[in-house]
Amino acid sequence: MMDSILSKVILFLASILSIGLGASYIKIGVDNLTFDFKTGEIYPIYYFLNIQNIGPEKERFEISSDSAWVSGSREGTDYTFVELPSQAYVNFVLTIRPERLPDGVNEAKINLRVLDIDSLVSQEVILDETEVSIVLNKNIIPIESSQPVLSPAMTPAPTSIQTLSPTQTPVLTPQPTETSQTPSTDLNPILKQIQSLIDSIRMFLKNFF
pLDDT in tens, 151-173: 444 444 444 444 444 445 444 44
* Lowest pLDDT segment from 23-27, 116-120, 123-127, 163-167: 163-167
Task: Tell me whether residue 51 is in a domain.
Answer: yes
SS3 162: coil
Q: What's the chain's length in residues?
A: 209
Per-position b or e across 97-129, b if 16+ CB within 10 A of its CB: ebeebeeeebebebebbbbbeebeeeeebebbe
pTM recorded for the entire structure = 0.59
Task: Tell me whether residue 52 is in a domain.
Answer: yes
Task: Tell me whether residue 209 is in a domain.
Answer: no
Task: Tell me whether residue 208 is in a domain.
Answer: no
User: Rounded to an integer, what distance in angstroms lies between the CA atom of residue 25 and that of residue 61?
Assistant: 9
What's the pLDDT at 167?
47
Judge contact between 170 and 164, C-beta under 8 A.
Answer: yes
What's the pLDDT at 153?
42
The pLDDT of residue 147 is above 60: no
Task: Tell me whether residue 143 is in a domain.
Answer: no
Average pLDDT, the chain: 78
pLDDT in tens, 66-79: 999 999 999 999 99
Specify the number of domains making up the chain: 1
Task: Tell me whether residue 38 is in a domain.
Answer: yes
CATH of the domain at 101: 2.60.40.10
The pLDDT of residue 15 is above 60: no
> Which residues, listed in sequence order, are joined to residue 59 by a DSSP beta bridge?
84
Range of the domain at 96: 24-138
Task: Tell me whether residue 151 is in a domain.
Answer: no
Of 190 and 79, the structure prediction assigns the larger pLDDT to 79
The pLDDT of residue 129 is above 50: yes
Task: Tell me whether residue 3 is in a domain.
Answer: no
CA distances from 11 to 8, 17, 119 (A): 5, 10, 7
